[in-house]
Amino acid sequence: MPHAEEPREPLADTRQAVRVLSSSTVFDGHVWGVRRDRFEYNDAVIEREYVDHTGAVAVLAIDDEERVLLIKQYRHPVRTRDWEIPAGLLDIRGESPLRAAQRELAEEADVEASDWSVLSEFYTSPGGSDEAIRIYLARGLSATAEPFPRSEEEADIELRWVGLDELVDAVMARRLQNPSLVIGALAANVARSRGWQGLEAGDVSWPRHPKSEALGE
């Protein structure tokens, strides 16, 4: 007979404070840079380089018919026009993550929402980047008063409304690769099975963001 397990704390990541000996920017790019840190951990001095990222938000917008709003646009590093959910950088000083999500939904899809919740959060590549993304669930959708002018990769954005079940099937068949879309679709599927209960409000603080102080949190 298996032994009863000892009571344990809820499963959760743990922020770890380390002594940073030095930190410098080794590359300062148009959108993000590369940082080199020397720090102490496990009685050793370690040096690591990583992408120094502003962080981002993404929006899974779903209508009353359980259709999800998708956009398709060109992504040069992978030479692909991939299906995504609206998303954008936290690159405006003083702008809250929720406001950034509302702005991106309007700018990329000409859509606004009256009901905002936090659906999921994740680090895109924690071994090589400090980029953190928060995915919002947006409901109560309507069109914005005016379309937003778009340029460069966004000039030929394609919009499509897709049923949540169809979207999950496409994710599980590995036909869709964008991480915010994949995580958002699977999280939304679970949230729906729970009657959309238990999600936190859209304006809740984001303490696990590496730059939470810069976000005013």
Catalytic residues: 154
| Crossing angle (nearest 10°) for helices 164-172 and 179-193 | 130
Q: Which residue matches tokens 């590093």?
A: 77
Q: Are 211 and 55 in contact (CB under 8 A)?
A: yes
Torsion angle of C-alpha atoms 174, 178, 179, 184, degrees rounded to 10: -90
Pairwise CA distance, residues 144 & 150, whole Å: 15
